[in-house]
Amino acid sequence: MVVLHLENNEITQVQLSDLLGVKDKKLNGHDYVPTQVVVAAEDDLRHNRVVALVLDLGLDNPWDNAHKLAEELKHAVAAPAAWTPPVGLKAYQVATLARGHRVPFAILTNYANLLGLPADECLKRLTQAFGADAAFGKDGAGLKQCADWVRRTIARVPPR
Protein backbone atom coordinates (compact mmCIF):
# COMPACT_ATOMS: atom_id res chain seq x y z
CA MET A 1 0.00 0.00 0.00
CA VAL A 2 1.03 3.58 -0.62
CA VAL A 3 1.12 6.70 1.52
CA LEU A 4 0.76 9.39 -1.13
CA HIS A 5 1.78 13.04 -0.80
CA LEU A 6 0.47 14.97 -3.82
CA GLU A 7 2.30 18.26 -3.48
CA ASN A 8 3.42 21.02 -5.84
CA ASN A 9 6.36 22.05 -3.65
CA GLU A 10 9.39 19.78 -3.35
CA ILE A 11 10.58 21.51 -0.17
CA THR A 12 7.28 20.69 1.54
CA GLN A 13 7.56 17.11 0.30
CA VAL A 14 11.00 16.77 1.89
CA GLN A 15 9.92 18.46 5.13
CA LEU A 16 6.97 16.12 5.64
CA SER A 17 9.03 13.08 4.67
CA ASP A 18 11.69 14.04 7.23
CA LEU A 19 9.08 14.60 9.97
CA LEU A 20 7.58 11.20 9.23
CA GLY A 21 10.97 9.50 9.36
CA VAL A 22 10.68 8.02 5.87
CA LYS A 23 13.61 5.67 5.14
CA ASP A 24 14.31 4.25 1.68
CA LYS A 25 10.88 5.46 0.50
CA LYS A 26 9.17 3.37 3.21
CA LEU A 27 7.00 4.39 6.12
CA ASN A 28 5.97 1.66 8.57
CA GLY A 29 6.12 -0.95 5.81
CA HIS A 30 4.15 1.13 3.31
CA ASP A 31 5.62 2.72 0.21
CA TYR A 32 5.91 6.49 0.65
CA VAL A 33 5.37 8.38 -2.61
CA PRO A 34 5.77 12.15 -2.79
CA THR A 35 4.73 13.36 -6.24
CA GLN A 36 3.66 16.38 -8.25
CA VAL A 37 2.07 14.23 -10.96
CA VAL A 38 -1.71 14.33 -10.59
CA VAL A 39 -2.30 11.58 -13.17
CA ALA A 40 -0.04 9.16 -11.29
CA ALA A 41 -1.82 9.93 -8.01
CA GLU A 42 -5.21 9.41 -9.63
CA ASP A 43 -4.03 6.06 -11.01
CA ASP A 44 -2.92 4.90 -7.56
CA LEU A 45 -6.28 5.97 -6.11
CA ARG A 46 -8.28 4.26 -8.88
CA HIS A 47 -6.39 1.02 -8.31
CA ASN A 48 -6.96 1.10 -4.53
CA ARG A 49 -3.26 1.30 -3.71
CA VAL A 50 -3.47 4.32 -1.39
CA VAL A 51 -3.81 3.96 2.37
CA ALA A 52 -3.54 7.71 3.11
CA LEU A 53 -3.30 10.85 0.99
CA VAL A 54 -1.84 14.25 1.83
CA LEU A 55 -3.19 16.75 -0.69
CA ASP A 56 -1.91 20.18 -1.68
CA LEU A 57 -4.61 22.55 -2.97
CA GLY A 58 -2.44 24.29 -5.57
CA LEU A 59 -1.57 21.53 -8.03
CA ASP A 60 -1.81 23.28 -11.39
CA ASN A 61 -0.14 26.69 -11.35
CA PRO A 62 -1.36 27.86 -14.79
CA TRP A 63 -4.97 26.89 -13.98
CA ASP A 64 -4.71 28.22 -10.42
CA ASN A 65 -3.44 31.58 -11.64
CA ALA A 66 -5.91 31.88 -14.52
CA HIS A 67 -8.87 30.99 -12.31
CA LYS A 68 -7.71 32.83 -9.19
CA LEU A 69 -7.52 29.86 -6.82
CA ALA A 70 -7.33 32.08 -3.73
CA GLU A 71 -10.63 33.75 -4.70
CA GLU A 72 -12.22 30.34 -5.27
CA LEU A 73 -11.06 29.15 -1.88
CA LYS A 74 -12.51 32.29 -0.28
CA HIS A 75 -15.89 31.20 -1.65
CA ALA A 76 -15.28 27.71 -0.28
CA VAL A 77 -14.58 28.94 3.26
CA ALA A 78 -17.44 31.45 3.15
CA ALA A 79 -20.03 28.69 2.62
CA PRO A 80 -18.48 25.20 2.50
CA ALA A 81 -21.77 23.33 2.08
CA ALA A 82 -23.01 25.62 -0.69
CA TRP A 83 -19.72 25.92 -2.59
CA THR A 84 -19.62 24.57 -6.11
CA PRO A 85 -16.00 23.90 -7.07
CA PRO A 86 -15.03 25.09 -10.54
CA VAL A 87 -14.41 22.61 -13.33
CA GLY A 88 -10.67 22.00 -13.60
CA LEU A 89 -9.75 22.40 -9.93
CA LYS A 90 -7.34 19.46 -9.73
CA ALA A 91 -7.25 19.24 -5.94
CA TYR A 92 -11.03 18.88 -5.81
CA GLN A 93 -10.96 16.21 -8.52
CA VAL A 94 -8.39 14.22 -6.54
CA ALA A 95 -10.35 14.76 -3.30
CA THR A 96 -13.50 13.44 -4.98
CA LEU A 97 -11.63 10.38 -6.22
CA ALA A 98 -10.15 9.75 -2.75
CA ARG A 99 -13.57 10.01 -1.12
CA GLY A 100 -15.05 7.68 -3.73
CA HIS A 101 -12.42 5.07 -2.90
CA ARG A 102 -12.73 5.70 0.84
CA VAL A 103 -9.14 6.84 1.17
CA PRO A 104 -8.52 9.04 4.20
CA PHE A 105 -6.97 12.31 3.14
CA ALA A 106 -5.72 15.52 4.65
CA ILE A 107 -5.24 18.89 3.02
CA LEU A 108 -1.86 20.57 3.48
CA THR A 109 -2.08 24.20 2.43
CA ASN A 110 -0.56 27.64 2.73
CA TYR A 111 -3.90 29.29 1.91
CA ALA A 112 -5.26 29.16 5.46
CA ASN A 113 -3.68 32.52 6.31
CA LEU A 114 -4.82 34.17 3.07
CA LEU A 115 -8.58 33.72 3.06
CA GLY A 116 -9.80 36.39 5.43
CA LEU A 117 -10.67 34.25 8.46
CA PRO A 118 -8.53 32.97 11.33
CA ALA A 119 -6.36 30.12 10.06
CA ASP A 120 -8.01 27.49 12.28
CA GLU A 121 -11.45 28.42 10.99
CA CYS A 122 -10.21 28.39 7.38
CA LEU A 123 -8.75 24.91 7.83
CA LYS A 124 -12.00 23.66 9.37
CA ARG A 125 -14.02 25.06 6.48
CA LEU A 126 -11.62 23.76 3.82
CA THR A 127 -11.96 20.33 5.43
CA GLN A 128 -15.73 20.62 5.03
CA ALA A 129 -15.63 22.00 1.48
CA PHE A 130 -13.32 19.27 0.19
CA GLY A 131 -14.75 16.46 2.33
CA ALA A 132 -11.31 15.86 3.84
CA ASP A 133 -10.54 14.11 7.09
CA ALA A 134 -8.32 16.98 8.22
CA ALA A 135 -6.52 20.11 7.02
CA PHE A 136 -3.21 21.58 8.12
CA GLY A 137 -1.21 24.70 7.41
CA LYS A 138 2.15 24.56 5.68
CA ASP A 139 4.05 25.87 8.66
CA GLY A 140 6.12 24.06 11.27
CA ALA A 141 3.16 23.26 13.54
CA GLY A 142 0.92 22.27 10.64
CA LEU A 143 3.51 19.95 9.14
CA LYS A 144 4.01 18.26 12.53
CA GLN A 145 0.25 17.86 12.96
CA CYS A 146 -0.01 16.43 9.46
CA ALA A 147 2.78 13.95 10.16
CA ASP A 148 0.95 12.87 13.34
CA TRP A 149 -2.27 12.45 11.32
CA VAL A 150 -0.47 10.28 8.74
CA ARG A 151 1.02 8.08 11.48
CA ARG A 152 -2.36 7.61 13.20
CA THR A 153 -4.08 6.90 9.89
CA ILE A 154 -1.65 4.29 8.59
CA ALA A 155 -1.40 2.58 11.99
CA ARG A 156 -4.89 1.20 11.29
CA VAL A 157 -3.83 -0.48 8.03
CA PRO A 158 -1.29 -3.31 8.02
CA PRO A 159 1.27 -3.19 5.18
CA ARG A 160 0.90 -5.72 2.39
Tell me the pTM: 0.92
Structural domains present in the chain: 2-146 (3.40.50.2300)
pLDDT given for residue 63 in this prediction? 82
145 Rama sector, left if φ>0, alpha if ψ -120 to 50, beta otherwise: alpha
pLDDT given for residue 148 in this prediction? 97
pLDDT given for residue 160 in this prediction? 66
Neighbours of 145 (CB within 10 A): 19
What single-letter amino acid sits at 141? Answer: A
Going from the first residue of the chain to its last (160 residues), give the mean pLDDT of each consecutive group of 10, the final group possibly shorter.
Answer: 94 96 93 94 96 92 82 89 90 96 95 82 94 95 97 84
pLDDT given for residue 71 in this prediction? 86
Read off the pLDDT of residues 96-107 as tens digits, 9 standing for 90 and up.
Answer: 999 999 999 999
* Total residue length of the chain: 160
Of 152, 149, 38, nearest to 95 (Cα)?
Answer: 38
Neighbours of 17 (CB within 10 A): 18
What single-letter amino acid sits at 42? Answer: E
